[in-house]
């Protein structure tokens, strides 16, 4: 797999998981509204995917990569984040919001673990150490956004 594809894919997937889980956790804790959580997921899928793709585009341009590699990395970043973020809407549509949130946490942890394992194998590192590090970071994001969501949800 070409480096630009690997870079765009790993960035898009990681950002898609952590950003979407963080936003939906905060919105679920603060509002308890399925419509608000779905709106947040769709917003992340569109706005943040385009923003991250542009960020990847500029990053690759600043590294003086070929125009094809610049667009490859940006395109893969956009598509992976867009599709991954939207995948979190499926449980929200199928289950009660509290159950959907748990399903999304499991889905995100599984995907992040698989990506982390793959990265570790490519870099010839211990997979479980890399997986644990990345899942721990995601867990911190979820806990913090849950606390903030509850705090904001209780504000007058």
Residue 7 pLDDT grade (very low, low, confident, very high; cuts 50, 70, 90): confident
Say if residues 74 and 57 touch (Cβ distance below 8 Å).
Answer: yes
User: Residue 80 — pLDDT band, cuts 50, 70, 90?
Assistant: very high
CA dihedral 154, 18, 71, 79 (to 10 degrees): -90
Evaluate the CA torsion angle 107, 101, 21, 85 in order and state its sign: positive
CA 39/CA 109 separation, integer angstroms: 22
pLDDT at 30 over 80: yes
Domain boundaries, the chain: 3-153
pLDDT band at 48 (very low <50, low <70, confident <90, very high): very high
pLDDT the model gives residue 4: 76
Where do the H-state alpha helices sit in 32-156?
A: 34-43, 49-62, 67-87, 89-94, 97-122, 127-153
State the pLDDT at residue 67.
79
121 pLDDT higher than 70: yes
CA distance 72 to 146: 35
φ, ψ for residue 88 (rounded to 5)? -70, -15
Give the model confidence (pLDDT) of 88-116 as tens digits.
999 999 999 999 999 999 999 999 999 99
pLDDT for position 1: 55
Burial of 71 (0-12, 13-18, 19+ CB in 10 A): middle
Average per-residue pLDDT for the chain: 92
pTM of the model: 0.89
How far, CA to CA in Å, does 150 sit from each of 8, 22, 39, 63, 80? 33, 13, 18, 42, 30
For the record, the structure tokens of 156 come out as 């007058």
95 DSSP 8-state letter? S
């Amino acid at each position: 797999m070409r480096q630009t594809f690997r870079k765009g894919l790993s960035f898009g997937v990681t950002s898609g998981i952590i950003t979407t889980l963080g936003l939906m956790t905060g919105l679920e804790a603060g509002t308890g509204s399925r419509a608000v959580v779905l709106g947040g997921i769709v917003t992340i899928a569109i706005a943040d995917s385009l923003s991250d793709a542009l960020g990847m585009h500029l990053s690759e341009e600043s590294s003086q990569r070929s125009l094809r590699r610049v667009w490859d990395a940006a395109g893969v970043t956009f598509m992976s984040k867009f599709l991954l973020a939207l995948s979190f809407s499926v449980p929200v549509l199928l289950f009660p919001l509290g159950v959907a949130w748990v399903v999304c946490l499991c889905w995100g942890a599984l995907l992040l673990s698989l990506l982390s394992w793959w990265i570790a194998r490519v870099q010839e590192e211990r997979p479980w150490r890399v997986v644990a590090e990345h899942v721990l970071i995601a867990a911190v994001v979820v806990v913090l956004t849950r606390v903030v969501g509850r705090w904001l949800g209780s504000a007058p």
